[in-house]
Amino acid sequence: MTTPPTSAVPTPAAASAAASAAGDPAGVDAAAAPSGGGLDLLYTDVEDALRASVRDLLTARCTPDAVVAAYDGDRSLTATLWKALAVDLGLAGLLVPEERGGAGASAREAAVVLEELGRFAAPVPFLTSAVVATTALLASMDDDLLVRLAAGERTAALVVPLSADAAGFRPVVRVQEDGTLHGRVTSVAGAVEADVLVVPVATGGGVALHAVEASAARVDHVVSLDMTRPLADVTLDGVRGELVVGADAGADAVRLALETGAALMASEQLGVAQWCLSATVGYLLERRQFGRVVGGFQAIKHRLADLYVVVESASAAARHAAVTAAEQDPDRTVAASVAQAYCSGAAVRAAEECVQLHGGIGMTWEHPAHLYLKRAKADQITFGTPGRHRALLGELVDLPA
């Protein structure tokens, strides 16, 4: 990579143009907006350029052989790849405003990065640190940690179970009168890579967020279904942290962080699904049985056509979730749950079809399909299952049980 350090990062002006541009006169004349025109669900030139930078880097460095090594205990890819993405491309600060040391981009751009990370099953803590923990810390009054996260100097993890959803999360860590933290949180993603833990703490006045040095906590690595996003059990046994978000604001900060995580993970799921579809189509255009290309059999074609429809639909759902998050649209909570309720299943279906339609080779360790299956299935449970999001939607859109 010879890309200059900040070339991948959209300027705030470009990002804001991206957010308001496009197929919708509403941006220009909201008073006479056409019905159904809606938010711009396509990609801007800035986003395309960002995607190209990320894809170039991942193509060069994030090969399936290097990724699969994580399952055999070799996690050496993560540190170098994360530094290249976070520092060299400047992606760690995408969601941090310029005046707080970041790139001042938006959820639109972060979503494009996640699509590419999904496409490569990349084992980096972008989602956990640069999206979830960073979003939580945007509520902080003290910018010191945020500035260092944005610069990629530090990596953070929000200490919640990866399966927690925005509406249902309740903290289990307690603070004692002497200010020490006590509690154990299982299945935390990003803690393995993090050097600072952002811990939601239950207090009498609400939920506070404490920043704890990872070295001060016990972080037990867990053998995970998806070792490209490895989990850890975090134990805090009388550790002292620094209060970064007060009890008046912590609950909202965590809720927004988990909602943003859910909204943007849909783009990662889209990337997973797109890789699975194109890898499968590519393989079936080459694989011959019965004297014919297997992709020419109608039974196969119809399955792939249906899968294409699912992937295209997932791209609209993921894009809508990213755009509503970027614009702080009142519909963003609904959009996040719609995206999770749809894209989780879409990615799993694409990965399962990928394995099945590859036949024998699809079941092997040497073929990368399993990396995507494991990522897709773990993502389905992450930030709330599809069933959980459907139940939430029942309340949000007035379709009660």
Partner 1 sequence: MSESAGQLADLRGRVEALLAAHDPATSDRLDFLRARFDAGLAWVHFPEGLGGLGLPRSLQGYVDELLARAGAPDNDPRRNGIGLGMAAPTILTFGTDEQRRTFLRPLWTGEEVWCQLFSEPGAGSDLAAVGTRAVPDPHDPGTWVVNGQKVWTSSAHKARWAILVARTDPGVPKHAGLTYFVCDMTDPGVDVRPLRQITGEAEFNEVFLSDVRIPDAHRLGAVGEGWRVANATLMNERVAIGGHAAPRESGMAGVVARTWRERPELRTPELHDRLLSLWVEAEVARLTGQRLRQKLAVGEPGPEGSAMKLTFARLAQELSGLELELLGEEGLRYDEWTMTRPDIVEFTGRDAGYRYLRAKGNSIEGGTSEILRNIVAERVLGLPSEPRVDKDIPWKDLPR
Closer residue to partner 1, CB minimum distance, 308 or 365:
308
- Distance separating alpha carbons of residues 184 and 238, to the nearest angstrom: 11
Three-state secondary structure call for residue 237: strand
Rounded Cα gap, residues 317 and 337, in angstroms: 10
Residue among 148 and 320 whose Cβ is closer to partner 1: 320
Binder among 316, 363, 364, 365 for partner 1 (CB under 8 A)? 316
> 4, 5, 37, 205: which one contacts partner 1 (CB under 8 A)?
37
Q: Are 77 and 46 in contact (CB under 8 A)?
A: no
* 223, 298, 330, 366: which one binds partner 1 (CB under 8 A): 298
Binding segment (CB under 8 A) for partner 1, from list 65-73, 178-186, 337-345, 358-366 = 337-345
Does the protein bind partner 1 through residue 401 (CB under 8 A)? yes
**Strand 156-158 to strand 292-293: parallel, antiparallel, or no bridges (unpaired)?**
unpaired
Can you tell me the distance from the alpha carbon of 209 to that of 245, in angstroms, rounded to the nearest whole number? Answer: 5
Interface with partner 1 (CB under 8 A), residue from 82, 275, 342, 372: 342
DSSP E strand stretches across 143-222: 156-158, 173-175, 180-189, 196-203, 206-213, 218-221
Residue from 1, 13, 309, 361 binding partner 1 (CB under 8 A): 309
Q: What single string gives the DSSP state of each residue in 270-281?
A: HHHHHHHHHHHH
Residues in contact with partner 1, shown as a per-residue x/- string from 368 to 387 under the rule CB under 8 A: -------------------x
The yes or no reply on residue 301 touching partner 1 (CB under 8 A) is yes
Q: Which stretch binds partner 1 (CB under 8 A): 30-38, 54-62, 101-109, 119-127?
A: 30-38
Q: Is 287 left (phi over 0), alpha (psi -120 to 50) or beta?
A: beta
Helices (H), 103-143: 107-119, 134-137
Quick check: 293 binds partner 1 (CB under 8 A)? yes
Please identify which residue in 2, 30, 32, 99 interacts with partner 1, judged by CB under 8 A. 32
Among residues 93 and 386, whose Cβ is nearest to partner 1? 386
The piece of 8-16, 149-157, 182-190, 296-304 that touches partner 1 (CB under 8 A) is: 296-304
Using CB under 8 A, which residues numbered 10 to 29 contact partner 1?
21-25, 28-29
CB of 368 to partner 1, least distance (A): 20
- Please, are residues 316 and 351 in contact by the beta-carbon 8 Å criterion? no
CB atoms within 10 A of CB 88: 18
Q: Is residue 399 a contact point for partner 1 (CB under 8 A)?
A: yes
Enclosing H/E stretch for 378: helix 369-381
CB 226 within 8 A of CB 68: no
Q: Is 36 near partner 1 (CB under 8 A)?
A: yes
Q: Is 49 in the site for partner 1 (CB under 8 A)?
A: no
Do the Cβ atoms of 166 and 235 come closer than 8 Å?
no
Cβ atoms of 67 and 77 within 8 Å: the answer is yes
What number of chain residues touch partner 1 (CB under 8 A)? 55
Distance of CA 357 to the CA centre of its chain: 27
Q: What is the DSSP letter of 30?
A: G
296 counts as binding partner 1 under rule CB under 8 A: yes
As given in the structure block, the two tokens for residue 270 are 């889209």
The structure tokens listed for 172 are: 């289990």
Hey, which residues between 51 and 110 contact partner 1 (CB under 8 A)? none
Q: Examine residue 40 and tell whether it contacts partner 1 (CB under 8 A).
A: yes
Q: Which C-beta is closer to partner 1: that of 21 or that of 167? A: 21
Is residue 141 involved in binding partner 1 (CB under 8 A)?
no
Q: Which residue ranges make up the site for partner 1 (CB under 8 A)?
A: 21-25, 28-29, 32-38, 40-42, 281, 284-285, 292-293, 295-298, 300-302, 304-306, 308-309, 312-317, 319-320, 338, 341-342, 387, 390-391, 393-394, 397-401
